[in-house]
Amino acid sequence: MKFLSIVRYFSGCVSLKFEGVFIEKFLNLLIKNNIGFWNLTKSEISVSFCTNLKNYKTAVLLSEKCGLELCGTVEKGFPKIIRKYQKRYGIAAGILIFCAFIAASSRFIWKVEVSGNQNVPTSLILSTAEKYGVKTGVLYSSVNALHAERGIITELNGISWITVNVQNCVVRIEISETKKQPEMYLSDDAVFDIVAKRDGVIKYIELYSGEIVRDTGSAAAKGDTVVSGKVTDKNGKSYYNHARAKIIAFTNHRITVEVPFLQSEKVYSDSIFKKSLNVFGIDVPLYLKKYKGASDTISSFETLNFLWFELPVKICEYEILPYSETERKISGYDAKISAEKELQYKKDNELADAVIHSESIKEYITGESYIIVADYYCEEDIGEEKYIGPMPALSKLFISYKIQ
């Protein structure tokens, strides 16, 4: 019944009502002339029913032969809609243009999807894929999946396997990331020294493996070897390993902060809103004049959908915040507060892992700025690993190993 209703809707139908005496004769003539009808409602002097639009004139002629009078007609279906809008050429042109756009754009890539990544950013994968021709707006026949796979996996670290699937208008990039091996499997196959990453006076050394080459209380400059991966036993024989140690030393840090009295600031005026249409990555402005003054911009976009799938079309909206830069002079007190906040921020970041024993803060005021110079006497771990080479048992190349 649903299929029959759909057919009747697109072919068109009409509801008719007749009044008269010879109703039975009229119905018999309809059947005799193969005129189908449905939804029949009959009384002694009237009859109403529905029939196909093409049978309308024949039914009226047969009713006149039986002396019936047509009292009402109600047309239904798609042909009525067509006649209603047949003179509105813009709607027809719009439908044709839309259909042509869909047909033509179906040969292009609409969307690029990435799955399987957790550590490698999606934006990095997409930007790398663009270098090898995988991006929205290109013909899908021009996408060389094998070339893209080789390029992406070669250029990006952390990817062990990749496949690029072109499915009609969508490119799906599926990757598998490399799993980081525990440090012991890699580092134990190589020789490392422990060197000083900054100047300091060694307080004590917690040795786990390796040989100490600088005593407690001695000074170590940045880059000096403190614990060597070359170990000499009691018998005078040498062997190599991965040196591991914690080197606690006294260090000095200086942090300088300068805040000028003359500060520049932005004074914003009313926002300006503009829109553009982005089709296959090409931005089409929907405005006539571009704002040329100094401004900040907040952008957002909305992807258009047709039925259940996304179109390669985005409506972009830009909120332009015009501003003018002015200069204002702040007081010494305000400059002091700003400088102290900046000093605290740098201190929390640069000395997060250090134990501060003492600090010396000096403040200066010049004609143009407020300056704070802070010196810190700290205790911290200054050791860092330095790769020397592979283990001698694993590679003959280690013959060139030299103890620094």
Residue numbers of the domain that contains 309: 264-326
CB 332 within 8 A of CB 365: yes
Residue 379 pLDDT level (bands cut at 50, 70, 90)? very high
CB 205 within 8 A of CB 248: yes
What's at 358, amino acid-wise? Answer: S
Residue 403 lies in a domain: no
Same domain assignment for residues 291 and 309: yes
Question: Picking from 200-209, 352-361, 388-397, which range would have the lowest pLDDT averaged per residue?
Answer: 388-397
Residue 124 CB: number of other CB atoms within 10 A? 15
Grouping H, G, I as helix, E, B as strand and the rest as coil, residue 398 is helix
Angstrom CA distances, 163 to 107, 113, 249, 302, stand at 21, 12, 51, 29
Same domain assignment for residues 155 and 201: no
The burial of 152, by beta-carbon neighbours within 10 Å (0-12 exposed, 13-18 middle, 19 or more buried), is given as buried
Same domain assignment for residues 163 and 203: no
Same domain assignment for residues 312 and 342: no
Assess whether pLDDT exceeds 70 at residue 350: yes
Paired residues of 288 in beta bridges: none
Residue 400 lies in a domain: no
- Whole-number pLDDT of residue 354: 93
- Whole-number pLDDT of residue 234: 81
- Whole-number pLDDT of residue 394: 46
Residue 290 CB: number of other CB atoms within 10 A? 8
Question: Picking from 54-63, 76-85, 139-148, 200-209, which range would have the lowest pLDDT averaged per residue?
Answer: 76-85
Residue 200 lies in a domain: yes
DSSP letter at 141 equals G
Same domain assignment for residues 30 and 102: no
- Whole-number pLDDT of residue 307: 65
DSSP letter at 139 equals B
What's at 332, amino acid-wise? Answer: G
Measured distance CA(335)–CA(350) in Å, rounded: 22
Same domain assignment for residues 17 and 162: no
Same domain assignment for residues 280 and 197: no
What's at 318, amino acid-wise? Answer: Y
- Whole-number pLDDT of residue 178: 83
- Whole-number pLDDT of residue 348: 93
Residue 186 lies in a domain: no
User: Which pLDDT tens digit goes with each residue over 14-35?
Assistant: 888 888 888 888 888 888 888 8
Higher pLDDT, 172 or 304: 172
Q: What is the pTM of this model?
A: 0.50
Measured distance CA(272)–CA(258) in Å, rounded: 36
Nearest to 339 by CA among 377, 358, 379, 366: 366
User: Which pLDDT tens digit goes with each residue over 268-296?
Assistant: 999 999 999 888 777 888 888 888 888 99
Residue 219 pLDDT level (bands cut at 50, 70, 90)? very high
The strand pair at 111-115 and 170-177 is best described as parallel
Same domain assignment for residues 272 and 310: yes
* Mean pLDDT across the chain: 84
User: Which pLDDT tens digit goes with each residue over 53-112?
Assistant: 888 888 888 888 888 888 888 888 877 777 776 666 676 677 777 777 767 777 788 888
Residue 186 pLDDT level (bands cut at 50, 70, 90)? very low
Residue 316 lies in a domain: yes
CB 172 within 8 A of CB 113: yes
- Whole-number pLDDT of residue 86: 66
Copy the structure tokens of residue 5: 């209703």
Q: How many alpha carbons lie under 13 Å from residue 333 in its C-beta half-sphere?
A: 0
Same domain assignment for residues 242 and 276: no
Assess whether pLDDT exceeds 60 at residue 187: no
Residues 6+ apart with CB under 8 A from 125: 114, 117, 152, 156, 173, 175
Residue 77 lies in a domain: yes
Q: What percent of the chain has pLDDT over 70?
A: 90
- Whole-number pLDDT of residue 403: 39
Residue 404 lies in a domain: no
Same domain assignment for residues 76 and 222: no
Query: CA angle at residue 64 from 63 to 68, to 5 degrees?
Result: 60
Q: What percent of the chain has pLDDT over 90?
A: 33
Question: Picking from 9-13, 191-195, 304-308, 391-395, which range would have the lowest pLDDT averaged per residue?
Answer: 391-395
Give the total number of structural domains in the chain.
5
